[in-house]
Amino acid sequence: MDIRIGDELMMKKAHPCGGDRFAVLRVGMDFRIRCTKCSREVMLPRKKAEKNIKAVFRGGEKLSLAQLQGTAADGDPRS
């Protein structure tokens, strides 16, 4: 899945604070994301993060999951 730094993720499972939007700070084997509501940072494995994504916002535009898939193959060795 093509997730980039600066993207905003809407997650299926909300943060304990109730926020479901996260800013992407780092991508790679693990994603580092920051809850936009309480500003806490969370690190989680890429696979787990991708499964939890409901929608992605990039530059104010909502991207469909179909748009994000297919661009980068799973298990991409980059990073």
Rule CB under 5 A: which residues touch Zn ion?
15, 17, 19, 35, 37-38
Closest to Zn ion by CB, 38 vs 65, is 38
Whether residue 63 contacts residue 57, with contact meaning beta carbons closer than 8 Å, is answered with yes
Closest to Zn ion by CB, 15 vs 46, is 15
For the CB of residue 3, give the shortest distance to Zn ion in the complex, in Å.
19
For the CB of residue 24, give the shortest distance to Zn ion in the complex, in Å.
15
Spatial separation of the C-alpha atoms in residues 18 and 38, rounded to whole Å:
9
Spatial separation of the C-alpha atoms in residues 75 and 21, rounded to whole Å:
25
For the CB of residue 57, give the shortest distance to Zn ion in the complex, in Å.
17
43 class by beta-carbon count within 10 Å (0-12 exposed, 13-18 middle, 19+ buried): exposed
Closest to Zn ion by CB, 4 vs 13, is 13
